[in-house]
Amino acid sequence: MMRFILVGIIVAMVAGLGAMTVLSHRPFQSGEPYGAPFTLVDQKGAPITEAAFRGKPSIVFFGFTHCPEVCPTTLFEMAGWLKALGDDGKNLNAYFVTVDPERDTPPVMNTYVSNFSDRIVGISGDPDKVHAMAKSFNIYWKKVDTGDGDYTMDHTASALLLNAKGEFSGTIAYGESADTAIAKLKRLAAG
């Protein structure tokens, strides 16, 4: 029994350390745009900057196209949330930012994202710039060797909500109920 308690304590400590690491990348200041300035490309190869996250509220999800479960599920759900919002969500922007820019080129992102919704914009670019952008948004990612000459990516599974000023407004957790997610997006769109 003591062994199980000890394992539980160790797991909790590791999880807490991981959360502190993610949150310590950049201190969040209320009332200022979230993340640092960036210049990347969208799925069509056009330049995109942090200005895309200003003027309208946004939902931003970081993932990768070779993701087996979390990313396709989240993008499918995101497309459903946007559709369910109808006119209430017409002013929301939605973005899918790769954490695997080596494989996720703009054409790959275009094909992948287009399978879910024409409302979601894929973002990729130079790997160093993509990773700097993800870090400034407090996103965790790590390349993990699968042992067969390939790799996968561990990454933050929550979607970020940004208000029209680009300020952090909350998250939608992976697996959160559709009703809760849609309620959060309604509040975001109305704000």
Tens-place pLDDT, residues 91-139: 999 999 999 999 999 999 999 999 999 999 999 999 999 999 999 999 9
Domain boundaries, the chain: 29-190
Identify the pLDDT of residue 30.
55
In this structure, are residues 134 and 60 in contact, taking their beta carbons and an 8 Å threshold? Answer: no
Cα–Cα distance, 67 to 56 (Å, whole number) = 28
* CATH architecture group of domain 29-190: 3-Layer(aba) Sandwich (3.40)
pTM of the model: 0.84
In this structure, are residues 38 and 129 in contact, taking their beta carbons and an 8 Å threshold? Answer: yes
Burial 39-53 (b: 16+ CB within 10 A, else e): ebbbbeeeebebebb
Identify the pLDDT of residue 27.
46
Over residues 6-31, mean pLDDT: 42
Q: Which two tokens stand for residue 75?
A: 């993008």
